[in-house]
Amino acid sequence: MSDFFTTIRRRHSVRHYQADMPVEAEKLHAILESAISAPSAGDLQAYQIGVIEDAAHRAALAQITEQQFISEAPVCLAFCTDAEHSALTFGDRGRDLYALQDATIAATYAQLAAAAAGLASAWVGYFDDVEVTRLLDLPPNLRAVALLTVGYPAELPEATTRRRLDDIIFHP
């Protein structure tokens, strides 16, 4: 396990995976436990996480999202909001904002945990809601908002840049 700041520095999106190297069950468990330890509004955890390991499902997801690497990565996690669960406590703010924040913070924790465990990942947000809902057979209360591929890398990730801190922070 690597130090937190090293983990952050080393995490990069990876879009080619070693398809024949499975993610160890203990590592997957640690990633999922990390995800659910993320903060959430009112501690409601208004989300569900689909764990997609089946090759046919991953291939179908790759096809409908047009993101081929989903079929290469041995694991794909689907972070789904349960907006009405949050709305029961927080009304519109829970429905429109907190559920999405809960689910995506959990996905962020999972992504960092994967990096700390020596695995690679990529966040996939570009997909058709209707097709993904149908493929994952989601009940009406769930909406997939982020997919996360997880596996051992088969490429050196591309270097990415960031906007300068000065361009991002402001002091009201």
Ligand X SMILES: Cc1cc2nc3c(=O)[nH]c(=O)nc-3n(C[C@H](O)[C@H](O)[C@H](O)COP(=O)(O)O)c2cc1C
Residue with tokens 């559920």: 99
3-state secondary structure of 1: coil
How many residues touch ligand X (CB under 6 A)? Answer: 11
- Position 122 contacts ligand X (CB under 6 A): yes
Residue with tokens 């409908």: 64
CB of 54 or CB of 66, closer to ligand X? 66
For residues 149 and 70, is the Cβ–Cβ distance under 8 A?
yes
Q: How far is the CB of 14 from ligand X (least distance, A)?
A: 8
Measure the CA–CA gap between 3 and 114, rounded to whole angstroms: 13
Q: Which residues, including other chains, have CB under 8 Å from residue 14's CB and lie 6 or more apart?
A: 69, 120, 121, 122, 149, 151, 153, 155, 157
Interface mask toward ligand X for 127-166; x: CB under 6 A:
------------------------------x--x------
Cite the DSSP H helix spans in 99-170: 99-116, 129-136, 165-168
Please report, to the nearest 10 degrees, the dihedral formed by the alpha carbons of residues 60, 158, 13, 70 taken in order.
10
What is the sign of the dihedral through the CA atoms of 112, 116, 122 and 128?
A: negative
- Position 123 contacts ligand X (CB under 6 A): yes
CB of 22 or CB of 157, closer to ligand X? 157
Q: Using CB under 6 A, which of the segments 1-9, 56-64, 87-95, 118-126 binds ligand X?
A: 118-126
CB of 25 or CB of 156, closer to ligand X? 156
Q: Which of 34, 45, 48, 67 binds ligand X (CB under 6 A)?
A: 67
Q: Using CB under 6 A, which of the segments 21-29, 50-58, 85-93, 117-125 binds ligand X?
A: 117-125
Q: How far is the CB of 130 from ligand X (least distance, A)?
A: 16
- Position 5 contacts ligand X (CB under 6 A): no
Contact residues toward ligand X (CB under 6 A) are 12-13, 15, 67, 122-126, 157, 160
